[in-house]
Amino acid sequence: MNDSSFVPSDNLLSGISGPDHVKALTPEQLPALAQEIRDEIIAVTSATGGHVGPNLGVVELSIALHRIFETPTDQFVFDVSHQGYIHKLLTGRNGETFRKLRQTGGASGFLYRSESKHDAFGAGHAGTALSAALGMATARDLKGTDEHVVAVCGDAAFTCGVTMEALNNVVASTKRLIVILNDNQWSIAKNVGAMAKYLNRLSTNPTYNKVHHDLEKFFKGLPGGEDMNRVYMKWKRETKDFFVESSLFEKFGLRYLGPIDGHDIEELEKNLEFAKQCDTPILIHVITKKGKGLQAAIERPEKFHGASPYDAETGESRKSDAPIATNYQDVFGHALTRFATQDSNIVGITGAMPSGTGLCHLAEALPEQFFDVGIAEEHAVLFAAGLATKGIRPVVGIYSTFLQRAYDQIIHDVCLQNLPVTFCMDRAGLSANDGPTHHGLFDLSYLRCVPNAVVMQPKDEDELVDMLHSCINHAGPAFIRYPRGAGVGVTIKDEPAVIPFGQAEVLREGTQIQIWALGPMVDLALKLAEQIGNEEGISVGVVNARFAKPLDKTLLLKQTKFSPLIVTMEDHVITGGFGSAVIETLQESNTLISVERIGWPDKFVEHGSSIDILREAYDLSPDAIRARILKRWSQTEKPVIAEA
Ligand SMILES: Cc1ncc(C[n+]2csc(CCOP(=O)(O)OP(=O)(O)O)c2C)c(N)n1
């Protein structure tokens, strides 16, 4: 141990300020440390929300990793990195930083290279660990250093195309890479597909387990049997093929160890130690229990994958007193179910997010019209394209940020062939507690430039249903974006209306300033227009733009005849977003009037306690926007004839 300041105390966790302290503990102290870590995770996440189940499942694994390896010299690459809480607690981030998990100024819910030297690689999207770790291991080989690189992947990471691409390249790239397959059988929902079935067979192989168990018993029963058993265990690790057909991983050239009890620290340490000495890439298959230590999380793994604040005793969500409008995701899920009931050609597709997207409602009502393809966004989009060629009407429910992964499929497969696929992009805008990996701030920019794409955002949940209805009946690709969480609270009509594509809606007449707003910005625009009218005597109109593409050019150009200032408001980066579309349209028509674009700057926005706090920090609070509009108005040249 390098650090002599460690004084073991009754409370082990509070004395740990780095991995050296973890190594200094005796094996007998480790169960107590594991318990303290679980208590801390439950205490903190019950207040802040967070990834409860994934972390409770890897407490022992994380302790063992930090006892066997030396970070930051050795490097861990956690897939998604949502299970990195224990790693944070053991690398100097316990105490105040962890207590403010996912809050402004506190630890992020994911790993960031900028947060700690122990975070070798950042992530928030799934499936990146193996590929990144392979790159790091190969760089090590090129540079001639000898640190260990360990990729920690969940079982669902192996449903990602990019993980399989990396697996295909491991032996061609390095001789030394350690892969931990943390198998808890769950993605967010139950893991799906042939790979999940295969892993299940591998971990419960009755032949292997029975022979192994009988032999272990046999050796232990002999005089000196403990020693013989140890030799047997070593031999077993090295000759597993004797008992069972070689695993898929061995066919890819990796050595396979397992399955191992992921809650047995001694067993984990032994196997990690073995892996360290190994001169071939190696995969250790570790079986863990998602949510271990919290009964509610074990019983409801999906809810506790990523939970909002909850009561630690009962597991129930902490209710806010404010009346809660229906979530956009549920409105979408119920509306799609209604449409799909009337037309069996309508199907819903998710990439491992049935409840997050609201498609769980379709899954429950019409399972044959629902597809969960795993964490495979590229496939989800291509699969939809294929379905669409044969008259099926696929609706892909997906988070804005995860759709980024399927960009080539959007361009090359859906839009180029002008196929009628509807994309419902949830979490468009900020995902405050999650931070930059999860903010949906780029979709307008990356979609607007694609020919045939129609891109829209509803002002409320009723308009979402109208848009969904309109898109399903549209002959080409269409994208609807909407934010995380509750809608405005409006009633949803019995029969949806068709919204003509490219038609905006004037919500407030005005003659001097026109605010063109998208989605949740519409409500704020109406309030600001009222306020500016009352307090400043300026006549402000408000348009619910509805479409970023095609833009309502006719209305826009008509308004520029009498209003010298257009303000655009979007929950999106301003670079290439909705405001840019307005400027481009004006420029193409040679109508260069003033435009004030309100949106997120060209920066990665960090995590924060709430959207309001983040908006405040980026000068996007209602007061700051009002001030910007007035300042711009004061600088705007007013035409002599300003009245329509
Ligand atoms: C590209 C992408 N799609 C979807 C998600 C949402 N997501 C976060 S974690 C997760 C499941 C991860 O399961 P697994 O890797 O087995 O880890 P576990 O949580 O079970 O430990 C999913 C689908 C994501 N983070 N990235």
- pLDDT for residue 13 is more than 70: yes
SS3 state at 248: helix
- pLDDT for residue 210 is more than 60: no
Of the listed 290, 303, 338, 597, which one is catalytic? 290
Residue 223's CB is within 10 A of a number of other CB atoms, namely 6
Q: Is the peptide bond before 72 cis (omega within 30 degrees of 0)?
A: yes
Query: Which candidate, 522, 462, 457, 519, places its Cα nearest to that of 491?
Result: 462
Catalytic (active site) residue 463: no
Burial (0-12, 13-18, 19+ Cβ within 10 Å), 142:
exposed
- pLDDT for residue 317 is more than 50: yes
SS3 state at 411: helix
For residue 478, the surrounding DSSP H or E stretch is: strand 478-481
How many whole angstroms from 37 Cα to the centroid of ligand 1?
Answer: 22
Of the listed 88, 270, 292, 405, which one is catalytic? 405
Q: Tell me the average pLDDT across 155-160.
A: 97
Contacts of 435 (CB under 8 A, 6+ apart): 102, 108, 109, 110, 124, 605, 606, 607, 608
- pLDDT for residue 2 is more than 50: no
Residue 249's CB is within 10 A of a number of other CB atoms, namely 22
Q: Which atom of ligand 1 is nearest to 184's Cα? A: 20
Each residue's pLDDT tens digit, 233-265: 666 555 554 445 679 999 999 999 999 999 999
Q: Tell me the average pLDDT across 555-560.
A: 98
Q: Tell me the average pLDDT across 12-30.
A: 97
Q: What is the DSSP letter of 50?
A: B
- pLDDT for residue 644 is more than 50: no
- pLDDT for residue 51 is more than 80: yes
- pLDDT for residue 94 is more than 50: yes
DSSP string for 346-408: EEEEESS-HHHHTTHHHHHH-GGGEEE--S-HHHHHHHHHHHHHTT-EEEEEEEHHHHGGGHH
How many whole angstroms from 360 Cα to the centroid of ligand 1?
Answer: 17
Name all contacts of 106-110 with Cβ < 8 Å and 24+ positions apart. Answer: 106/48, 108/435, 108/606, 108/607, 109/50, 109/51, 109/82, 109/433, 109/434, 109/435, 109/607, 110/80, 110/81, 110/82, 110/84, 110/434, 110/435, 110/437
Residue 554: φ, ψ to 5°: -60, -50
Q: Which atom of ligand 1 is nearest to 58's Cα? A: 21
Mean pLDDT of the chain: 93
- pLDDT for residue 163 is more than 90: yes
Nearest residue by C-alpha to atom 12 in ligand 1:
187
Domain 505-635 fold is Rossmann fold (3.40.50)
Separation of alpha carbons 182 and 286, rounded Å: 5
Query: Which candidate, 45, 18, 17, 13, places its Cα nearest to that of 30?
Result: 13
Which carries the bigger pLDDT value, residue 319 or residue 115? 115
Query: Which candidate, 54, 30, 52, places its Cα nearest to that of 42?
Result: 52
Of the listed 36, 60, 269, 377, which one is catalytic? 377
Separation of alpha carbons 410 and 392, rounded Å: 17
For residue 261, the surrounding DSSP H or E stretch is: strand 255-261
Residues lining ligand 1, CB < 6 A? 54, 79-80, 82-83, 125-126, 154-157, 182, 184, 186-188, 290, 305, 351-352, 375, 377, 402, 405
Domain 328-481 fold is Rossmann fold (3.40.50)
Burial (0-12, 13-18, 19+ Cβ within 10 Å), 65:
buried
DSSP string for 304-343: TTSB-SB-TTT-PBPPPSS--PPBHHHHHHHHHHHHHHH-
Separation of alpha carbons 506 and 543, rounded Å: 4
Percent of the chain with pLDDT over 90: 89
Catalytic (active site) residue 290: yes
Separation of alpha carbons 429 and 447, rounded Å: 15
pLDDT of residue 234: 62
Separation of alpha carbons 235 and 242, rounded Å: 10
- pLDDT for residue 398 is more than 60: yes
| Per-residue CA distances from 263 to 61, 74, 129, 527 (Å) | 7, 22, 22, 55
C-alpha torsion sign, points 414, 355, 163, 185: negative
Percent of the chain with pLDDT over 70: 91
Written out in words, the top-level CATH class of the domain with range 13-203+247-299 is alpha beta
Each residue's pLDDT tens digit, 336-354: 999 999 999 999 999 999 9
pLDDT of residue 4: 41
Separation of alpha carbons 521 and 527, rounded Å: 10
**How would residue 22 be classed by pLDDT, with cut points 50, 70 and 90?**
very high
Q: Which atom of ligand 1 is nearest to 51's Cα? A: 19
Six-digit token string for 110? 């994911």
Q: In the chain, list all ranges with CATH 3.40.50.920.
A: 505-635
Which carries the bigger pLDDT value, residue 231 or residue 520? 520
Six-digit token string for 447? 């979609």
Are 343 and 393 spatial neighbours (Cβ–Cβ below 8 Å)? yes
Six-digit token string for 559? 């308004």
Are 562 and 509 spatial neighbours (Cβ–Cβ below 8 Å)? no
Six-digit token string for 276? 């360290």
HSE-CB at 537 with a 13 A cutoff on CA atoms is 0
How many whole angstroms from 385 Cα to the centroid of ligand 1?
Answer: 24
Burial (0-12, 13-18, 19+ Cβ within 10 Å), 551:
buried
Q: Which atom of ligand 1 is nearest to 305's Cα? A: 19
Separation of alpha carbons 214 and 223, rounded Å: 17
pLDDT of residue 231: 67
How many whole angstroms from 303 Cα to the centroid of ligand 1?
Answer: 13
**How would residue 213 be classed by pLDDT, with cut points 50, 70 and 90?**
low
How many whole angstroms from 50 Cα to the centroid of ligand 1?
Answer: 13
Name all contacts of 447-450 with Cβ < 8 Å and 24+ positions apart. Answer: 447/410, 447/479, 447/548, 447/549, 448/548, 448/549, 448/576, 448/577, 448/580, 448/581, 449/576, 450/410, 450/411, 450/415
- pLDDT for residue 322 is more than 90: no
Each residue's pLDDT tens digit, 483-530: 999 999 999 999 999 999 999 999 999 999 999 999 999 999 999 999
How many whole angstroms from 154 Cα to the centroid of ligand 1?
Answer: 8
Q: Where are the beta strands (DSSP E) in 545-620?
A: 547-549, 565-573, 594-600
Q: In the chain, list all ranges with CATH 3.40.50.970.
A: 13-203+247-299, 328-481
pLDDT of residue 246: 78
Residue of 188, 300, 426 to test ligand 1 pocket, by largest number of atoms within 8 Å of CB? 188
Query: Which candidate, 618, 453, 473, 433, places its Cα nearest to that of 549?
Result: 453
